[in-house]
Every structure is written in structure tokens, then in C-alpha cells.
Amino acid sequence: MAGAQAWLEKIRALPLARKVKIMNVCGGHERSITQAGLRGVLPDNVELVPGPGCPVCVCPEEDIYQAIQLALQDKVILVAFGDMLRVPVNVPKGEVRSLVEAQAAGADVRPIASPTEARKIALDNPGKPVVFFAAGFETTIAPVAAALAEGLPENLSILLSGRLTWPAVAMLLDSGTPGFDALVAPGHVATVMGPDEWRFVVDKHGLPTAVAGFLPESLLASFYSVLRQVADGKRFLDNCYLEVAHAAGNPTAQRLLAQTLDVVDANWRGIGIIPKSGYALKPEYAAWNARLKYPDHADPTRRRIGEMPPGCDCAKVVLGKLYPNQCRLYGKACTPRTPVGPCMVSDEGACRIWWSGGVRE
């Protein structure tokens, strides 16, 4: 932590004339910040706010409902990344409200860690339909694109809920009340898409921006970079994750994403439609598109379709408008054992990260 200490001393020596609020856009960043206790060691006039860094938290409620119904009604083998399994949907008490409850009710729901596992399950079960419910940001969706390009087994299809990170930040900035003064951009996403994707934050909105890695040293270096930009009255896009996030990103991953997926307007749970913020399978991959292959189980009589559960402030937490412990359910009705909203379920959800980090009130 010698490097971290040095960055901290440089931050403390900066002549900051006002309070500066820095937003991060990555659940991994938020986890490192919380676990390392960085909020507690920074000067009082530096505030760190978690932003839209959790794809599970913004996955449309109706997509999760559809996945549950595919498992229950269409009897598919439903595979999904593990932290999606406990996310609740808005159904009356007594009905199946999550994939894990569907599993308990007899549906074949299996957690997986990669598209490779989805492929193996499909190949091991040639007589059964398998649906891969794939929610994630660019870094998670790139391997899905690679699997599509490589060719999927006939009995495997994809229910895609992929999202791009930068349009959510663009929406916040375009709103005129972004609620932050500087941005720490996600290192993983920059590794795939290239740091330049975040240049609009500087060029169009004049906010200091730095791409960061996941170690406390890299995060502190990025905080120093944006705070020094504020102190010096300068603005530029800095890359504090040089060893991994190269200028061009990962051209192969970008090519596979462009080859297999279209970028479309997409719904973010509790937030609404954000232009050009989602991925959809290109028409030539229709045979593997679960949205086309299976009936839409949308039930228009369901209440609160697409919304967060009653009382849950997750959408405001995702947009950096509230800190997790400002939700009135935090630590009371809502804990990791009894999650009310997705932000308390996912490993990348700010509520779960804060609770796991010992924030109790």
C-alpha cells in the first residue's frame, strides 16, 4: 500500500477550493473503494458517489419475469449468471418472484459463470431447449458475441439484456443536473472499448475524467488526476489503467460485438429508455434469439411492470442521486438475506457492497 499512501498524500496536498463529487461507474470500483475504506481517508471536501455500475440492477424487470416464465412454462433449461438468480420481480405474494424460487418450484435453473458453460450444458442436453439469460455490460457481452460468432448449438438460444455504460452517464450529463463534478471511468469497459469512449465527458461537458483500474493505488491515482484537474482549472481524459486499458481497447472484441449485435434504445429498470444503450442480436442470428423463439409471457395485468419494488430506491442509487444507506429500507426490510431490490442482490450493487463493507446505517 506504499503506492496508495503516496497518492493519498498528494491528494491531501492539493489546494481544493470547494467540495468535489467524483462518480464511479463500475461495481468493481465501488467494491474496492468500500473494502479499502477509501471514503474514510480522503479529505472531507472529496465525495465519492457510486453510479450506474451494476447491470443486474438495471436489467428490465420484465426480462427477469420472462426468464422465470420460460423456465416454468416452457420447461427450458434456464442458465444465467449467478447474481441474477435472486433478483425479485413484482408479482403478488405467493407467486414465483425470482429464478431461485422457480428453481425451488421444480424449474431447471442453473447458475453459470461464462457462455462456455452455457454451450456445454446445451451440448450435454441435446434433446432439451436451453436459454442463456445474458445480462451485462460491454465486458460481459463481448464473450457472448464471441460465442455467437463461433456458432451456437441449435438447442441454445439467448435472452439478451446487454447494456452499454457510457449512454447512462451521457443521459445524466445531458439532464443538466448530473450530481457530480468529475468522473472515474470503468477500467474493464475501457479495456474492451478503449478509453476514448469517455472523451465526450471532457469535450462536451467539461468534466475531469480518468480511467481507473481496480486496486486502491489505481483508484487513488485517478482521484488525484481528476482533483488536480479541478485544482489547476484544466480538463483532460487521463488513463490511470495504462497497463491494461490500451488506446485502441480490444479490437477483436469490438469487431465481434459489431458483427453479431446491434446497438438499440433500451429500457433500464426504474429509469426508463436510454437511447442507444442496449445490445440486441442482429437479424442473421434470429435462430438463437430467445425473444423471437419463445412466446412473450408479458402479463399486462401485472402491477408495477418494469419498476423497482415498492419502497426501493435502487434506481436513484444507480444514478448516484442517493447513497444506499439513504434508502429507508436499507438494513431494515432489505438486507442480503432478505433483498427487496436488485442493488442488494448483485455483487456489483452498491447496496450489497456497502452492507458487505460494514455500513450498517
Nearer to ligand SF4, 275 or 310 (CB): 310
> Helix axis angle, 27-35 relative to 216-232, nearest 10°?
100
Alpha-carbon Rg for the chain, nearest whole angstrom, is: 21
Contact residues toward ligand SF4 (CB under 6 A) are: 312-314, 317, 324, 327, 329-330, 334, 340-341, 343-344, 351
Of 49 and 76, which has the nearer Cβ to ligand SF4? 49
Nearer to ligand SF4, 53 or 341 (CB): 341
Between 27 and 249, whose beta carbon lies closer to ligand SF4? 27
Q: How far is the CB of 232 from ligand SF4 (least distance, A)?
A: 37
**Which residue number, 195 or 324, has a Cβ lying nearer to ligand SF4?**
324
Residue 216 or 309: the one with the smaller Cβ distance to ligand SF4 is 309
CA of residue 43 relative to chain centroid, distance: 28
Cβ of 150: how many Cβ atoms within 10 Å? 11
**What type of residue is 123?**
L
Closest contact distance (angstroms) between CB of 175 and ligand SF4 is 20
Q: Which three cell numbers stand for residue 139?
A: 465486458
Closest separation between CB of residue 325 and ligand SF4, Å? 8
Number of DSSP helices (H) and strands (E) in the chain, helices first: 16, 11
* CB 151, min distance to ligand SF4, A: 39
Residue nearest to ligand SF4 (CB): 341
Report d(CA 138, CA 144) in Å as an integer: 10
Write down the least CB distance from residue 329 to ligand SF4, Å.
4
- Kindly write down the DSSP assignment for every residue of 120-136, as one continuous string: HHHHH-TTS-EEEEEEE
Query: Could you tell me what percentage of the chain is helix, strand and coil, using 3-state DSSP and rounding each to the nearest 5?
Result: 40, 20, 40
CB of 29 to ligand SF4, least distance (A): 18
